[in-house]
């Protein structure tokens, strides 16, 4: 180890400019990134996701506080001056200072962050998880994730139950046109008495046939679907799913995902609600702003609602084909200013701090590293050996076992991501035995 490690480290984060991002000043991601990086927003470019973590595809960087932050003994200059713009990647800094992640994290995951925090408003790209084909999907890690709604939020998540699937076959004739009558009849003749294995096989067969349909077939079917729904809408109120399909078709005309949407649960979150999904569960975030946390991975298998490369064969073979509505986490109030979101994944959890003007709260030390994202307000963040003025767009890293005090001037909304506290407690209990 080199120099003393500070209690709080300010981070400069990366932004992803995917095609589906909002342009320039229209993007809340662009606003957060500009404030975080002090860089100007380019109006003609899309800003999709702000990444906070150690992933190579979107690394965060340690930026010195006013008095300088030492990097742990790198040869040459070891004081990084934010005013000069000198930075070192968070990944490299942690590798040089492994104690900052704590013993529990170091032993299980090594000198890195096992989680990745993102902010991405208005995401409507289908993101589906995968951990195969290393030449394409470069992470060996799985990718469970949780989306925490900042605004009203819409998503397609997981497959519908058997009865709703039967209704799709009955009332969406375009589906049967694509997959064939025999496949439709197989769905209608399936019952829960057949068992979960048979139900999954039937669903997988239907989904694979749909996703494998030729572009020629889809280009003929989708216009008929849209024409039928528009005519139906003139005579009666459409279902929420039907209205969504019309919206999706405007964004992705001719896309197979427009028809596939009938097979997925349509989820609507209110601000403050969270949705979590295990690996290998299909999902597409449709509309709204969210903070997302996941295991450190960028593996994505795409098959619809995207202009990017698709991998239908891998997608259809990897999914779990569970038929259930995803669980919604309302969050648990830990105190008047703190709501905790703890999904059943050991890599991460998220806390939201909504602190009124001129209020101070203490965040207890935990056995793993944490990152903090400020989405609104102004204030200060204190640790035993450091103090930072914080505002919208600021991102800070706190080493393991660091108690933090948050003080607000104008009221603040801050998100903290860290290793799941239950996992840290279980790890500590095992060591005691």
Q: Rounded mean pLDDT of the chain?
A: 83
Alpha-carbon distance of 351 to 363, in angstroms, equals 10
- In 3-state terms the chain splits into helix, strand, coil percentages (rounded to 5) of 30, 30, 40
What pLDDT, on a 0 to 100 scale, did the predictor assign at position 312? 60
What are the two backbone dihedrals, phi and then psi, of residue 263, each rounded to the nearest 5 degrees? -90, -5
Q: What value does the mean pLDDT take over residues 170-192?
A: 96
The per-residue pLDDT for range 151-160, each reduced to its tens digit, is: 899 999 889 9
Residue 207 tokens, joined: 């989904």
Q: What are the DSSP E strand ranges found in 280-348?
A: 283-287, 290-295, 328-329, 332-335, 338-341
Alpha-carbon distance of 64 to 355, in angstroms, equals 26
Alpha-carbon distance of 263 to 250, in angstroms, equals 19
Using only C-alpha atoms, what is the Rg of the chain?
23
Q: What value does the mean pLDDT take over residues 126-147?
A: 43
HSE of 166, CA atoms in CB hemisphere, 13 A: 11
* CB count in 10 Å sphere of residue 401: 14
Is 356:338 a contact under the CB 8 Å cutoff? no
* CB count in 10 Å sphere of residue 198: 14
The per-residue pLDDT for range 361-378, each reduced to its tens digit, is: 999 999 999 999 999 999
The per-residue pLDDT for range 117-133, each reduced to its tens digit, is: 998 654 332 333 223 33
Alpha-carbon distance of 202 to 165, in angstroms, equals 11
Alpha-carbon distance of 415 to 351, in angstroms, equals 6
Residue 216 tokens, joined: 């020629």
pLDDT score of 243 more than 90: yes
If 0-12 CB within 10 Å is exposed, 13-18 middle and 19+ buried, where does residue 163 land?
exposed
pLDDT-based confidence at residue 145 (cuts at 50, 70, 90): confident
pLDDT-based confidence at residue 428 (cuts at 50, 70, 90): low
* CB count in 10 Å sphere of residue 365: 16
What pLDDT, on a 0 to 100 scale, did the predictor assign at position 120? 63
The per-residue pLDDT for range 290-339, each reduced to its tens digit, is: 899 988 754 444 433 444 444 566 667 667 888 988 889 889 999 999 99
| Domains, in order of start, for the chain | 9-114+348-425 (2.60.120.10), 153-329 (1.10.441.10)
Q: What angle do CA 12, 14, 19 make, to 5 degrees?
A: 155
Alpha-carbon distance of 285 to 124, in angstroms, equals 5
* CB count in 10 Å sphere of residue 81: 16
Q: What value does the mean pLDDT take over residues 255-273?
A: 93
More confident residue, 150 or 94: 94
Q: What value does the mean pLDDT take over residues 246-250?
A: 93
> What are the residues facing 156 on neighbouring strands?
266, 284
pLDDT score of 193 more than 80: yes
What pLDDT, on a 0 to 100 scale, did the predictor assign at position 210? 92
Closest CA to 397 of 376, 383, 408, 378: 383
Task: For tokens 């749909």, name the residue.
Answer: 210
pLDDT score of 350 more than 90: yes
pLDDT score of 342 more than 50: yes
More confident residue, 318 or 426: 426
Active-site residue set: 302
Element (H, E) at 116: strand 115-119
pLDDT score of 2 more than 60: no
Q: What angle do CA 223, 225, 226 make, to 5 degrees?
A: 65
Bridge-based pairing of strands 395-398 and 370-383 is antiparallel
Task: For tokens 């919206």, name the residue.
Answer: 247
Highest mean pLDDT pick, 31-45, 199-213, 219-233, 380-394: 219-233
Considering the entire predicted model, what is its pTM? 0.83
pLDDT score of 246 more than 60: yes
pLDDT-based confidence at residue 138 (cuts at 50, 70, 90): very low
What pLDDT, on a 0 to 100 scale, did the predictor assign at position 319? 78
More confident residue, 432 or 193: 193
Alpha-carbon distance of 33 to 23, in angstroms, equals 13
pLDDT score of 431 more than 80: no
Closest CA to 11 of 50, 49, 37: 37
Alpha-carbon distance of 419 to 368, in angstroms, equals 6
Alpha-carbon distance of 124 to 329, in angstroms, equals 21
Residue 168 tokens, joined: 């799709």
Residue 89 tokens, joined: 């990647």
Q: What value does the mean pLDDT take over residues 185-206?
A: 94
What pLDDT, on a 0 to 100 scale, did the predictor assign at position 79? 36
Q: What value does the mean pLDDT take over residues 17-45?
A: 86
pLDDT score of 67 more than 70: no
What are the two backbone dihedrals, phi and then psi, of residue 168, each rounded to the nearest 5 degrees? -60, -45
pLDDT score of 66 more than 70: no
């Amino acid at each position: 180890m080199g120099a003393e490690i500070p209690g709080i480290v300010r981070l400069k984060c990366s932004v992803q400019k995917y095609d589906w991002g909002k342009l320039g000043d229209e993007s809340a991601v662009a606003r957060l990134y500009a404030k975080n990086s002090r860089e100007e927003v380019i109006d003609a470019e899309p800003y999709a996701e702000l990444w906070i973590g150690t992933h190579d595809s979107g690394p965060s960087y340690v930026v010195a506080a006013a008095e300088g932050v030492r990097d742990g003994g790198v040869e040459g200059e070891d004081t990084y001056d934010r005013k000069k713009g000198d930075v070192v990647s968070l990944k490299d800094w942690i590798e040089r200072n492994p104690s900052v992640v704590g013993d529990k994290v170091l032993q299980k995951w090594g000198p890195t962050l096992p989680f990745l925090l993102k902010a991405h408003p208005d995401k409507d790209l289908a993101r589906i998880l995968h951990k195969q084909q290393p030449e394409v999907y470069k992470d060996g890690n799985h990718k469970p994730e949780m989306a925490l709604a900042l605004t009203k939020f819409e998503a397609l998540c997981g497959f519908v139950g058997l009865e709703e699937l039967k209704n799709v076959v009955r009332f969406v004739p375009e589906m049967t046109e694509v997959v064939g009558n025999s496949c439709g009849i197989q769905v209608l003749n399936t019952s829960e008495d057949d068992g979960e294995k048979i139900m999954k096989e039937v669903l997988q067969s239907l989904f694979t046939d749909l996703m494998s349909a030729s572009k020629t077939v889809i280009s003929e079917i989708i216009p008929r679907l849209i024409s039928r729904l528009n005519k139906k809408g003139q005579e009666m109120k459409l279902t929420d799913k039907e209205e969504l399909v019309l919206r999706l078709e405007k964004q992705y005309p001719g896309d197979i995902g427009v028809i596939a949407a009938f097979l997925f649960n349509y989820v609507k979150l209110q601000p403050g609600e969270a949705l979590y999904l295990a690996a290998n569960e299909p999902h597409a975030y449709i509309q709204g702003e969210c903070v997302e946390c996941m295991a450190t991975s960028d593996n994505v298998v795409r098959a619809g609602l995207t202009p990017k490369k698709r991998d239908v064969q891998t997608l259809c073979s990897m999914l779990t084909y569970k038929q259930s509505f995803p669980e919604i986490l309302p969050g648990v109030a830990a105190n008047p200013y703190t709501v905790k979101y703890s999904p059943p994944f050991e890599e991460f959890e998220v806390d939201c701090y909504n602190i009124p003007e001129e209020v101070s709260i203490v965040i207890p030390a935990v056995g793993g590293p944490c990152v903090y994202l400020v989405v609104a307000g102004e204030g200060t963040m204190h640790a035993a050996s450091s103090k930072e003025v914080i505002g919208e767009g600021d991102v800070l890293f706190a080493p393991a076992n660091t108690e933090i005090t948050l003080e607000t001037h104008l009221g603040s909304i801050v998100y903290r991501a860290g290793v799941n506290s239950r996992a840290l407690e279980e790890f500590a209990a095992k060591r005691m035995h």
